[in-house]
Homo-oligomer: A and B are copies of this chain.
Amino acid sequence: MVRKPTSKETARKPNMREAILAAAEELFATNGFNAVSVRDIAQAAGANPGSVTYHFKTKDGLLLEIYRRHCGPMNLRRSELLAAAKRVRDLQDRLEAIVRAYVVPAFTSGSDLAGGGARFTRLRAVMSAEGNEVARRIIAQTFDDTSHAFIDAIHESLPHIPRTEIVWRSHFLLGALYYSLVTPERVARLSRGEADGSDAASAIEQLVQATVAAFQAPALDQTAPARRRAVASSKT
């Protein structure tokens, strides 16, 4: 038997709910939350504005559902890759593997949708910049566990660096990651066309390489703040 799926399950092609989610994700990620209207989303999805209300009740509810859809799979994938990375023996290699485990799912698919990882990460970047309340709540209670796991793992492979500095550097990593997804065309522009900021593969390699080096930098070590390098004539 062919087993035609029930509408309660996943319908095949004309799934309005999914189309709305995808359209909203795309529009929110590129224009921000407030710049996009429910009518914009409906039009992009080929749906009726009222249909959005039916499926998600409110605009906030729609954003919430986008997060729900992605958070689980993405964190799962990261956890798997982190577990694998922690088994790497060589400390240098392990650090790189850990960073890669953090970066790769953010750039590529982390769920059913192809390329959904990058789009969702970009969405998170934009929501965080806008200070979106819905996003802030979800992020703190969903991603902080994973973030701590990564920070701890990195700390284990760099025991001589204070945890506080690991936090700072992983924060920088996330910022660099976000920004790479938000304005990839800037890389192409500044490199005069020699680099393609939209190429996920090279973005990942560049980011991993740079970040590993950043993590390995000597600690500032606030317990011994003696070493203060002079900057030539910084006062005008």
**Which residues of A line the B interface, CB within 8 A?**
30-35, 77, 80-81, 84-85, 87-88, 93, 96-97, 100-101, 104, 125-126, 128-131, 140, 144, 147-148, 151, 163-165, 167-180, 182-183, 186-187, 189-191, 194-195, 197, 203, 205-207, 209-218, 220, 229, 231-234, 236
Contacts and interface: CB of A to CB of B under 8 A. Distances in A.
A217 B80 CA distance: 28
Contacts of A77: 236
A22 to B, nearest CB: 19
A194 B130 contact: no
Q: Would you call the interface of chain A mostly helix, strand, loop, or mixed?
A: helix
Q: How many copies does the complex hold?
A: 2
B168 A206 contact: yes
A87 B233 CA distance: 10
Contact of A191 (B163, B206, B207, B236): B163
A107 B133 CA distance: 25
Query: Which of A31, A35, A190, A195 has the most chain B CB atoms inside 10 A of its CB?
Result: A190
